[in-house]
Structure 1
């Protein structure tokens, strides 16, 4: 995807215990700069910028039981209507719909397989200001305990296109892919819920994985080439506070 359209990923937000540490880690890894909103109602909400464009955000945990994690938001023309459609399709609405100042309208949900996600109706803030270039968001993976049910849910609620595959169906809109869905394998403990992971495009996956390790992160998978035709080289990383995200480098044409 090269632009935000209704139903597409529009924002990625990290919930962290230690905001300054998260700012240092992602700042050193991706060259992101950080700007904290001074309004106390936003509780230290901090936007990451890549070359002056909004790239992602980090916010404090809403309660001590909340896991450190990345949360993906999907664009909606009408958050309230999308929440009703999602509930009818088996989702749980946890927070909202609610106004976020004059920035937009937001709600937090989980899909029928347990994966948290948010929906965002933009007003003054549209979401990603940069995508699909080095050090910016470029892909999203859903790891689900029921792959087929997850695909059916998002197709119904967001009208996503699906490129079928036995193990890794890909999804998108307007003939452009932006993510994939995989089944959760037995290597993950049963208490790990279904979850979305954002992927950041980088110029060199191996170098980025090595830098992440030096900065205190753990490489969970890779770096490795994917088996898809002309697929990217990827790595899955857990940051020093425990949030998982991916990095990828598109494979050169030819």
Structure 2
């Protein structure tokens, strides 16, 4: 199985009060099937697309009152060392590095502008077995309330290169502050960063938006609504695909993207 380079998105999971409800929702919207719950690890349950591991769902820990949300994990060869870098760069550790049996070691952190993310040092569990296709992880972006803090933090913790998008003369991109972080050269982008403007209600903090690939964006939105989920934005055409930002019935936000339907020229980056 592929080893993920340092700082690469390698896994996603989410906590749900109603795990069975979440399984029904994502089975219909993303075509997932689910393995057996692992009682030894809090009933952690892996999701699969065509037999390949793509994500996981888990009930909250006893006494936890956190909202349902997707957590993106970034790969680390040494979670303890990464945790120290996070603290040194002004981030906050919400969960110190913790070994999860033979599967690997995890940590949960918050970057200085407030977005929460995970760190994963692989053991037996390497991460995504399928990505960049329908029913699997496609992309992620840090939506930040303070991009200066996020931009300073991320390259101190992970070996990222960075490129700023040139909005050019496109009126739809006027005022858009978007950056891409890459590994091993600009031809390998792994994470986006978007400035949260006035379009975002002030009560929404910085967060990480996870994109899942779908065969048909509009159909995925329709299924989301059918199950009681919400449409936050879109569907919208872009050079990267037709996408929409949604939330499942338990409030976990994510985005769906049909990468086969691209429109317009790719933006330029400095």
- For the aligned pair, the TM-score class normalised by the smaller chain equals over 0.9
SS at match of 1:169: strand
* Deviation at residue 253 of structure 1 after TM alignment: 8.5
SS in 1 for 2:149: helix
Q: Which runs of 5+ in 2 are unaligned?
A: 166-175, 265-270
Which is further off, 206-215 or 13-22? Answer: 206-215
Structure 1 unmatched ranges of 5 or more: none
- Where does residue 246 of structure 2 map in the other structure? 237
Q: CA offsets per residue over residues 76-108 of structure 1, 9 Å max, x none? A: 000000010111000111212111011001111
SS in 1 for 2:73: strand
- Match of 1:91? 91
- In structure 2, the partner of 1:206 is 218
Question: Would the aligned equivalents of 1:79 and 1:120 in 2 still touch at CA under 8 Å?
Answer: yes
Matched, 1:169 2:179: yes
Shift of 1:152: 2.0
> Taking structure 2 as the reference length, what is the TM-score of the superposition?
0.87
Determine helix, strand or coil for the equivalent of 2:178.
coil
Cα distance in 2 for residues equivalent to 1:193 and 1:60: 23
SS in 1 for 2:87: helix
Q: Give 1:129's aligned residue.
A: 129
Q: Secondary structure at the match of 1:80?
A: helix
Q: Is the 8 A contact 1:69 1:244 kept in 2?
A: yes
The one-character-per-residue Cα deviations of 1:83-141 (angstroms, maximum 9, x if unpaired) are: 10111000111212111011001111111111111101001000111000111101001
In 2 relative to 1, CA 186–3 (structure 1 residues): closer, same or farther, beyond 3 Å? Answer: farther
Residues 56-67 of structure 1: matches in 2 within 5 Å? Answer: 56-62=55-61, 63-67=63-67
RMSD: 1.8
Tell me, yes or no, if the aligned pair for 1:138 and 1:178 is still in contact at 8 Å.
no
State the distance in 2 between where 1:207 and 1:27 align.
14
Structure 2: distance between partners of 1:9 and 1:44: 23
Q: 1:219 aligns with which of 231, 235, 252?
A: 231
Q: Which range moved further: 236-245 or 157-166?
A: 157-166
Distance apart, 1:14 and its partner CA: 1.1
Q: In structure 1, what is the Cα distance between the partners aligned to 2:209 and 2:115?
A: 10
Superposed displacement of residue 252, structure 1:
4.5
Aligned length: 249
Contact 1:96 1:107 in 2 (8 A): yes
Distance (whole Å) between structure 2 residues aligned to residue 211 and residue 56 of structure 1: 19
Tell me the equivalent position of 1:106. Answer: 106
